[in-house]
Structure 1
Amino acid sequence: MPPNSILPNLLRNAITTTTTTTNDTLAASLHNLVSRANTTPNTFQTNTVIAACVMFLAILIAWNLPVLRDFIAALKLFTVGIHELSHLTVGLLCGGQVVSICIDPNDGGATHVMGLMRTTPRIPRNPYAMPTFAQSFWSPSAVATLMAGYVGSSIVGFLFIFCAFDIVASKICALVIHFGLLVPVLRADHWIAYASIIACEGILIGLWFGDHGNALRFYVLFLGVMNLFYVVWDYVDERLFDKRNTSDCAQFSELLGWPTSSWAIAWFVYDSLVFTSAIFAGICVFRRTDAQMYSEASHFLPTR
């Protein structure tokens, strides 16, 4: 073999060996994940999953009962705010101009963005069809901005539910929630909203000082479920109370066709898949015993 070809051959062999080792490692990791060898939840994680399912029913009731819906007004403002912020962000990225934004715990949210619809109407595929004005002028930018609300809520919900499987991660989320609850103070215009914000902040601070912040997991989990399944509260709220701001499902129906209930079911299936993914991610990543989590939590922003 000529001397000039020795070095390229050595490099080629080294790269081939490294690639093979990496592929074997990835294949082994994928096999462990698919075989669910390490996805058996411990008691700590099982209680978290059960609590998440119970919280779904609790939020569905609390969101719509007159007294309870006022008590959780601060959490509703936080959830609606995340949803509308997602609309706002994608709308601006798509080149739109924000006209107005409304965040209300009972009437829901509404973000109006101009400059996203087509300037010329679409030619219907069916010449006998009679599309609405919105269906004739919709654009990918308008659809992306509308989708961003539920997608953004699902991302935040996924992260909160995922972090609820670990005490330290829940403490980090609690700091985000703390400042997020203070933002509505700038826009609140009713004493009920102020009282709810003070109560929710007080509960959040009180849970921080108990048992190294262990109970914070359930606060974060509660808000995670509330954000993730926002489509349910949005749709049910519209059906029960005929709120001023229509749900995104109704806007999807107006823009793309299909009944409002069909869009609600489709987004609920999507959120259920995200919920399942968050649970499996939390179980797989936070493989710690109770003693290990308590030890870590006692050293991260300790309270005693």
Structure 2
Amino acid sequence: MAPPPFPTSRKLARAVALSTIPHLTSRSLQKRDGLTVTDAQKVTLGIIAAYIVAIAILWNVPYIRWVLWPFKMLVIAFHEFGHAIACVLTGGKVKSISLDPREGGVTHMQGGKNAFTLPAGYLGSSLVGALLTFAGFNINGSKIASIVIGVCFLLTIWWGRKDWLTIGTVLAAVGLLVGCWFIAHAEALRFVVLFIGVMSSLYSVWDICDDLILRKVNSSDASVFAKRYGGSSQCWGVIWSIISLCFMAAGIVAGIAAFPQSAQQQRDDAQKFIPTKI
């Protein structure tokens, strides 16, 4: 029998090519879906932008900037917790944590590796901020984040049990988070977690700039780090600020990729995961 004519081969090749298009198209759509910003995420991004503007204004306007004071004390607690956990993980011992009403804090440690404990305050608080920003894209994610924060707060209270400001700040934060659990199946909790996350990320960057670039305070984590390991405090401050901003950006991108659910889907899911409502 004679072989089939050439046009039949062309048709076969075309059929094979067409059969692969759905698979390629499906893969392309899957990749696009991972980068697509949903309507719910656009709202979240808008809220993040509004938070950034509001924090920047409140931070610098006299008198009304005291509105942020409780949240500043909270993120300072994150800062000191970063020092403390790095100390423990590198073989040291945490003696105490205390917060200063003038927006300062100190962690008394014994042992540990200074190369890790010194930058852990700034980078730790910015990492916490990035994780909270990530969780703030989803109601159930915010629920889980609030539970983790609660555990961290218990450790902070243990280390700061001799300091009433530390205890009061932590208990007030826990009360706020618990109260938000009971509003619309914790939908309010998402916005509070998101705000604390943005605040923690921005506070880390602003504190570094304020101490090392604007006021040039000598007694900072970066100045101690520079004396021990070389370089200048300004240089280390800039490096840590860049890392902090990268953490925040990564938290936002990860939130977009991980939580594509619509607002209604989030509400429905929240009613199934530790449901609470007033």
Tell me the equivalent position of 1:53. 49
The structure 1 residue matched to 2:124, chosen from 138, 152, 168, is: 152
Q: CA deviation at 1:105?
A: 4.6
AA at the equivalent of 1:172: I
Whether contact under 8 Å (1:60, 1:233) holds in the other structure is no
Return closer, same or farther for 1:176/1:113 CA change in 2, 3 Å cut-off.
closer
1:216-255 to structure 2, matched below 5 A, reads 216-238=189-211, 246-255=219-228
AA at the equivalent of 1:212: H
* Structure-2-length-normalised TM-score: 0.70
Gaps of 5+ in 1: 1-27, 117-140
Distance 1:52 1:244 in 2: 30
AA at the equivalent of 2:89: L
| 3-state SS, counterpart of residue 137 of structure 2 | coil
1:1-304 to structure 2, matched below 5 A, reads 36-63=32-59, 67-68=63-64, 70-98=66-94, 101-115=97-111, 141-177=113-149, 186=161, 189=164, 194=168, 203-238=176-211, 246-300=219-273, 301-304=275-278
Identity %: 35
Return closer, same or farther for 1:198/1:261 CA change in 2, 3 Å cut-off.
same
* Structure-1-length-normalised TM-score: 0.65
| 3-state SS, counterpart of residue 185 of structure 2 | helix
Distance 2:187 2:260 in 1: 16
Whether contact under 8 Å (1:39, 1:284) holds in the other structure is yes
Q: CA deviation at 1:220?
A: 0.3
Gaps of 5+ in 2: 1-23
Distance 1:243 1:179 in 2: 35
Tell me the equivalent position of 1:126. none
Return closer, same or farther for 1:199/1:102 CA change in 2, 3 Å cut-off.
closer
Aligned-residue CA RMSD in angstroms? 3.8
The number of aligned residues is 249
